[in-house]
Amino acid sequence: MDSEALRKYSALHPKPAGLTLQYGTAGFRTRAEQLDHIVFRMGLLAVLRSKAVAATIGIMVTASHNPEEDNGVKLVDPLGEMLHPSWEEYATQLANAEEQELEKVITEICQKAAVNLHKDASVFIGRDTRPSSKKLSQSVIDGIQVLGGQYHDYGLVTTPQLHYMVCCQNTQGQYGKATLEGYYEKLSKAFMELIKQSHCSGESQRHLKIDCANGIGALKLSEMKPYFPREVLIHIYNDGTKEKLNHLCGADFVKVHQKPPGGLDMKPNERCCSFDGDADRIVYYYKDTAGHFHLIDGDKIATLISIFLKELLAKVKQDFKMAVVQTAYANGNSTRYLQETLKVPVHCVKTGVKHLHHKAQEFDVGVYFEANGHGTVLFSKAAETKIRQLVKEEKDDEKREAAKMLGNMIDLINQTVGDAVSDMLVIEAILALKGLTVQQWDALYADLPNRLLKVQVADRRVIDTTDAERRALTPPGLQEKIDALVKKYKLSRAFVRPSGTEDVVRIYAEADTQENADALAHEVSLAVFHLAGGKGAPPQP
Q: Is 64 annotated as a binding residue?
A: yes
Phi–psi pair at 17, nearest 5 degrees: -60, 135
Q: Rounded to an integer, what distance in angstroms lies between the CA atom of residue 23 and that of residue 40?
A: 15
Q: Is 501 annotated as a binding residue?
A: yes
Tell which residue, 293, 370, 332, has the closest CA to residue 509.
332
Q: Rounded to an integer, what distance in angstroms lies between the CA atom of residue 6 and that of residue 122?
A: 19
Q: Is 204 annotated as a binding residue?
A: no
Burial 98-131 (b: 16+ CB within 10 A, else e): eeeebeebbeebbeebebeeeeebbbbbbbbbbe
Q: Rounded to an integer, what distance in angstroms lies between the CA atom of residue 423 and that of residue 419?
A: 6
Q: Kindly state the helix (H) or strand (E) to which residue 53 belongs, with its residue range.
A: helix 36-53
Q: Rounded to an integer, what distance in angstroms lies between the CA atom of residue 482 and that of residue 502?
A: 23
Q: Is 64 a catalytic residue?
A: yes
Q: Is 502 annotated as a binding residue?
A: no
Q: Is 503 annotated as a binding residue?
A: no
Q: Kindly state the helix (H) or strand (E) to which residue 315 belongs, with its residue range.
A: helix 298-316
Among the listed residues 64, 137, 306, 334, the single catalytic one is 64
- Residues whose CB is less than 8 angstroms from the CB of residue 265 and which lie 6 or more positions away in sequence, other chains included: none
As a residue count, the chain comes to 541
- Residues whose CB is less than 8 angstroms from the CB of residue 540 and which lie 6 or more positions away in sequence, other chains included: none
Alpha helices in 113-151 (DSSP H): 133-146
DSSP codes of every residue in 244-285: -TTTT-SHHHHHHHTSPPTT--PPTT--EEEE-TTS--EEEE
Q: Is 280 annotated as a binding residue?
A: yes
Q: Rounded to an integer, what distance in angstroms lies between the CA atom of residue 541 and that of residue 534?
A: 16
Tell which residue, 79, 66, 224, has the closest CA to residue 130.
66
Q: Is 388 annotated as a binding residue?
A: no
Q: Is 27 annotated as a binding residue?
A: no
Q: Is 281 annotated as a binding residue?
A: no
Phi–psi pair at 470, nearest 5 degrees: -85, -15
Q: Rounded to an integer, what distance in angstroms lies between the CA atom of residue 103 and that of residue 94?
A: 10
CB 4 within 8 A of CB 31: no
Query: Alpha carbon 244 to chain centroid distance?
Result: 22
Alpha-carbon distance values, 413 to 205, 251, 300 (Å): 22, 19, 17
Phi–psi pair at 11, nearest 5 degrees: -65, -25
Cα dihedral 300, 289, 274, 210 sign: positive
Specify the amino acid at residue 267: K
Cα dihedral 63, 83, 372, 311 sign: positive
Q: Is 370 annotated as a binding residue?
A: yes
| Beta pairing class for 272-275 and 282-287 | antiparallel
Q: Which residues are catalytic?
A: 64
Which residues are known binding-site members for Mg(2+)? 64, 276, 278, 280
Which residues are known binding-site members for substrate? 370-372, 497-501, 506
Which residues are known binding-site members? 64, 276, 278, 280, 370-372, 497-501, 506
